[in-house]
Structure 1
Amino acid sequence: MAMATALRSSPLVPQHRPRFPVSAVAPWLVMLLALAALSCSSPVAVAAGSPEVVELTLLANAQEKGAVCLDGSPPAYHLQRGFGSGKHSWIVNLEGGAWCNTTEDCSDRRMTDLGSSKFMKAIEFEGILSNKRSQNPYFYNWNKVDVRYCDGGSFAGDAEGKDRNGTKLFFRGLRIWEAVVDELMGKGLATAKQALLSGCSAGGLAALLHCDDFRARFPQEVPVKCLSDSGFFLDVKDLSGERFMRSIFSGVVHLQNVREVLPKDCIAEKEPIECFFPAELIKSISTPTFIRNSGYDSYQVGNVVAPGGSDPGQSWSRCKADIRNCTSTQIEAMNEFRKEFVEALKVAQCKSNWGLFIDSCFNHCQTPFRITWHSQISLRLGNKTIAEAVADWYVGGGHGVKEIDCEYPCINPTCSSQLDL
Structure 2
Amino acid sequence: MEKQINFKGILSSKVAENPDFYNWNKAEVRYCDGASFSGDSENKTAQLQFRGKRIFLAVIEDLMAKGMRYAKQALLNGCSSGGLSAILRCDDFSSLFPHTTKVKCMSDAGFFLDAVDISGARSLRRMYSGVVNTQGLQNLLPRTCTRHLDPTMCLFPQNIINQVRTPLFILNSAFDSWQIENSIAPPSADPSGSWHNCSSSFNCNASQMQFLEGFKKSMLDALKTFSMSSKNGVFISSRWAHCQAERKDTWFPGNSQPGEDKGIAVAVGDWYFERTKK
Which bin holds the TM-score, normalised by the shorter protein? Answer: over 0.9
Q: Quick check: 153-162 or 233-242, which moved more?
A: 153-162
Contact 2:256 2:262 in 1 (8 A): no
How big is the shift at 1:196?
Answer: 0.5
Deviation at 1:380, TM superposition (A): 6.7
Contact 2:10 2:246 in 1 (8 A): yes
Q: For the residues of structure 2 that align with 1:381 and 1:188, how far apart are their CA atoms? A: 42
Equivalent position amino acid for 2:93 in 1: F
* Structure 1 position 297, deviation (Å): 0.9
Aligned residues between the structures: 278
SS in 2 for 1:144: coil
Secondary structure of the structure 2 residue equivalent to 1:124: coil
Q: SS state of the match for residue 390, structure 1?
A: helix
How is 1:254-403 mapped onto 2 (pairs within 5 angstroms)? 254-323=133-202, 325-374=203-252, 376-379=254-257, 382-396=260-274, 399-400=277-278
- Written as runs of structure 1 = structure 2, the 5 A alignment for 1:206-217 is 206-217=85-96
Please tell me the residue identity of whatever aligns with 2:36.
S
Match 2:14 to one of 132, 135, 141: 132
Contact 2:253 2:265 in 1 (8 A): no
For residues 259 and 101 of structure 2, the distance between their equivalents in structure 1, rounded to whole angstroms, comes to 29
Q: Which runs of 5+ in 1 are unaligned?
A: 1-54, 57-120, 401-421
SS at match of 1:290: strand
The 1:381–1:194 alpha-carbon spacing in structure 2 relative to 1, beyond 3 Å, is farther
User: Which piece of structure 1 moves more, 168-177 or 330-339?
Assistant: 168-177
For the residue of structure 1 that corresponds to 2:169, the secondary structure is strand
- Quick one: distance in 2 between partners of 1:122 and 1:162? 38
Structure 1 residues 326 and 224 mapped into 2: Cα distance closer, same or farther (>3 Å)?
same
Task: Name the stretch that deviates more: 179-188 or 365-374.
Answer: 365-374
1:18-49 CA-partner distances (Å, limit 9, x unpaired): xxxxxxxxxxxxxxxxxxxxxxxxxxxxxxxx
Partner Cα separation in structure 2 for residue 189 and residue 353 of structure 1:
23
The correspondence of residues 56-75 of structure 1 with structure 2, limited to 5 A, is none
**RMSD (Å) for aligned C-alpha atoms:** 2.1
C-alpha contact (below 8 Å) 2:40/2:51 kept by paired residues: yes
Between structure 1 and structure 2, the one with the greater Rg is 1
- The alignment partner of 2:106 has SS state of strand
* Percent of residue pairs bearing the same amino acid type: 47
Q: Show the 5 A alignment for 1:13-412.
A: 121-161=3-43, 168-323=47-202, 325-374=203-252, 376-379=254-257, 382-396=260-274, 399-400=277-278
Distance 1:244 1:388 in 2: 35
* Distance in 2 (alpha carbons) for counterparts of 1:152 and 1:122: 25
TM (norm. structure 1) is 0.63
Question: RCO greater where, 1 or 2, for CA within 8 Å and sep 6 or more?
Answer: 2
Give 1:170 deviation, angstroms: 3.3
Under a length normalisation based on structure 2, what TM-score does the superposition of the two structures give? 0.93
Structure 2 residue runs without a partner (length 5+) = none
Q: What secondary structure is seen at the aligned counterpart in 1 of 2:26?
A: strand
Distance of aligned partners of 1:391 and 1:380 in 2 relative to their CA distance in 1, 3 Å threshold? farther
Where 1:196 maps in the other structure, the secondary structure is strand
CA distance in structure 1 between the partners assigned to 2:236 and 2:149 by the alignment: 28
